A = this chain, B = another copy of it.
C-alpha cells in the first residue's frame, strides 16, 4: 500500500487485474440487465432517461445525450418515443429557441414507481444468493460506478 492518491500506478499487476475483472463484470451484467427489462416496451436507455429526469426535474435533449453517453440524434429518437408514449413532454426553451425542454409526466412518475416494484421482485430472486456483506459491497460501489460513468 504505497500509492499516493494522485499517481496510483495502474500498470501494477493487481490493479490491472482488478480493472480487467471490473470491466468484464460490468459488461456481462449490463447484458444481463438489458434482457431483464422490467417494463416491456421500454428500452434500458429510455428507463435510464426517465430516471435522470426524475432526479433533475427537467433537461434539454443535449444535456440528456451527454448524461447518457449517447449521440444527440439517438436522444432525439428516444425522446420522441417517450413523448409518443405520453411519458414526457416537450416544450420550447424559454431563453433559446434552438433548444427544447424535456419534462416527465405524472404517468412517468407512476410508471417508475410500478417498475421499481417489479424490479425488486426480480432482484429478490438474486438476493437469496448474496450475503448481506456482498450487498453492502454493492451499495458502497454503486456511487463510485456512477461517478466513473460520468467522468
Contact = CB atoms under 8 A, between A and B. Distances in A.
Is the interface on chain A under 10, 10 to 19, 20 to 34, or 35 or more residues?
35 or more
Interface of A is mostly: helix
A44 interface: yes
A66 B93 CA distance: 48
Given A25-B146, A26-B33, A130-B144, A11 B138 contact: no
Given A23-B33, A31-B69, A33-B26, A140 B142 contact: no
Contact of A26 (B16, B21, B30, B51): B30
Interface string A103-118: 0000000000000110
A18 interface: yes
B11 A120 contact: yes
* Residue among A15, A22, A120, A123 having the largest count of chain B Cβ atoms under 10 Å: A22
A19 to B, nearest CB: 6
A120 B19 contact: yes
A15 to B, nearest CB: 8
A14 to B, nearest CB: 8
A96 interface: no
